[in-house]
Amino acid sequence: MDANDGGSNAPEAGERTPASPEGPRPPASSGGPHPPAVPEDSHPPAVPEDSHPPAVPEDSHPPAVPEDPHPPAVPENRHPPAVPENPHPPAASGWPRVPAQQPPQPPPPEPRPPARSQPSHDPVDAPTAVPAYPDARIGVAALSLRYQVGAALAVAVVAVAALVHLGMVFLHVAPSNTVTKQHGKAIDEWIYPEFEQNWKLFAPNPLQQNIEVQVRADVRGADGTTRTTGWYDLSAEDGAAIDGNPLPSHTEQNELRRAWDFLTATHDNANRPIGLRGTLAETYLRRIVVLRLDRDDAAGKGGAVQRVQVRSRTTNVPPPEWSDEQVSTTPQYRLLPWWAVPADEAAGGVR
């Protein structure tokens, strides 16, 4: 049957066909395929992101779509696909519709890294640590003004005391001069006895004598009798303890000798003490010799020392063989008076 036959229900070419919501659209007279009619209660399918709508002929009418209170969700697309321009759309004929040529698709976006619940602790990306107290002060600067002033005064007092002490020691060991002649007493009171110096500035003369300190005692025995001991050479005992010892005791080297020098410096030629320092020197030497006698067990078992007497034996050092100097080698003695020993020292001295 001819397509233009009047008995045919097919519309003629170029004739518009009204939309029919009640039934399907009749097929075209041509043999080409046509899309099926859209039912009334159907919803249009969701359009994918990367899809492009086909070209619509100019003279065609889309089928009526019923109203839907809940329109379908449209995928989010910030950049809708471009529709190619076609100045000559195809006519509504029996030829099948050719889909429009799609432009090249952009590459898919790179996947995002998974979100981290905690901040990163990468030492490279982490900011530099800032101290908790950038303005914190240390030392004296951390103190308040009142304490800073107190610390400054304390340092000043210590510095002045150190300078005064150094000056006194220098004047003490220096040769006799105008200052030592006028203020010799004040210098000695500062130096003795704690800071006594046993040397002199500017190459002092070396010792040329051997001085030995000896002692004897009156002891009371356990039976009540009294006797006098012989002379104990205390200097010889110290020398024997030092001889052959690579690390001798400082006490064994200097205690007895310094005590004797202290006594001779505070007594006159008649062995009378000069001032309070002379009495102090006697007490100091007496305690030393009583301790040495107790060490040597001079009083015996059950005995006690009642009195002691100290003397010195001085001998000149003989000159060397190549020297023509003539010196006397005869010993000289200096005998001190008897000293009574108090009861608290009689049993071995004050320890």
The per-residue pLDDT for range 11-39, each reduced to its tens digit, is 454 445 444 444 455 444 444 445 555 45
Confirm whether pTM is higher than 0.85.
Answer: no
Q: Looking at the predicted structure, is the pLDDT value of residue 140 above 70?
A: yes
User: Which residues face 335 on adjacent strands?
Assistant: 311
Per-residue model confidence (pLDDT) at position 164: 95
Look at 276 and 347; give whichever has higher pLDDT. Answer: 276
Q: How confident is the model at residue 131 (pLDDT cuts 50, 70, 90)?
A: low
Look at 279 and 101; give whichever has higher pLDDT. Answer: 279
Per-residue model confidence (pLDDT) at position 29: 46
Per-residue model confidence (pLDDT) at position 51: 47
Q: How confident is the model at residue 325 (pLDDT cuts 50, 70, 90)?
A: confident
What three-state secondary structure class fits 227? strand
Per-residue model confidence (pLDDT) at position 20: 46
Q: How much is the mean pLDDT over the chain?
A: 75
Q: How confident is the model at residue 73 (pLDDT cuts 50, 70, 90)?
A: low
Name residue, tokens 């919501």. 21
Look at 323 and 188; give whichever has higher pLDDT. Answer: 188
Per-residue model confidence (pLDDT) at position 30: 47
Q: How confident is the model at residue 227 (pLDDT cuts 50, 70, 90)?
A: very high
**Distance separating alpha carbons of residues 32 and 74, to the nearest angstrom:** 32
Other Cβ atoms closer than 10 A to 213: 23
Cα 294 to its chain centre, rounded Å, is 54
**Distance separating alpha carbons of residues 107 and 127, to the nearest angstrom:** 36
Q: How confident is the model at residue 196 (pLDDT cuts 50, 70, 90)?
A: confident
Distances in whole angstroms, Cα of residue 22 to Cα of each of 25, 63, 80: 9, 11, 34
Residue 285 burial by Cβ neighbours in a 10 Å radius (0-12, 13-18, 19+): buried
Q: Looking at the predicted structure, is the pLDDT value of residue 74 above 60?
A: no
**What average pLDDT does range 31-58 have in this prediction?**
51
